[in-house]
Chain A
Amino acid sequence: MSLNPSVRDAMLSAVPSLRAFAISLCGNVDRADDLVQETLLRAWANIHSFEPGTNMSAWLFTILRNLFRSEYRKRRREVPDGDGTYADTMKTQPEQSSRVEFEEFRVALNKLPTDQREALVLVGASGFSYEEAAEICGCAVGTIKSRVNRARTRLAELMAIESADDFGPDRELRAVLTGGSGS
């Protein structure tokens, strides 16, 4: 008997966002992909515990998140991927000026504590509700809300520092250097 193709398809279609979530947790593409692979294997072996009709994506995110947490606890903190690996595998290369912003944001995001970062990503990018995010992280809805708020405040602080620079003469200089405003 073959596994219900719709289950396999559901897993397959969750892969892109699982990877995005994993990369935001690990900060390293290779590790993230290993994590996704382990998640799929684990899910496959435990598919009987998946309730048909419920959200497959949320179920897979929960598995991935738990795997990451247990691995993280074992290894403690390894040096996150500061630059290189992630940027190298980027499919689309944003144009130069937004590229800088993009990288600055990614660095700021990586500075957040893991529990704040995962809450922010689940709610702000993966499109989960606060309730779903709480279930994925195994905590109260209020906890998710406060983590998201703290994450936003911290990022705003980090970005306010960046944007203060942008309003200085540097910005005009940068525009001239990148040919942004003609001559």
Chain B
Amino acid sequence: MQVQSPGEKTGKILNREIQAKIGQQLRAVYNDVVDQGVPDRFADLLSRLDAEPNNQPSDKETQE
């Protein structure tokens, strides 16, 4: 026979709430960084790489 103690039941509800909260908090922590966008450092890096002929990946592949 399945008997669920009140404590167990509360525990399950609490657990469900906590799991929902974990998902929410996880995304909050993550999106806080995502919302910062692309720092100049990386935009500059990619422009620089793209501008240097020697750094062209396709050239590198054939020259090496």
Contacts and interface: CB of A to CB of B under 8 A. Distances in A.
Interface residues of B, number: 36
A1 B56 contact: yes
Interface residues of A, number: 45
A123 B56 CA distance: 34
What secondary structure prevails in chain B residues at the interface with A? helix
Contacts of B59: 1
Contact of A160 (B14, B38, B50): B14
Nearest to A98: B28
Interface string A7-42: 010011101110110011000000001001100110
B19 A102 contact: no
A3 B57 contact: yes
Interface string A91-119: 11010000001100110010000000000
A90 interface: yes
Interface of B: 14-15, 18-19, 21-23, 25-39, 41-43, 45-46, 49-50, 55-61
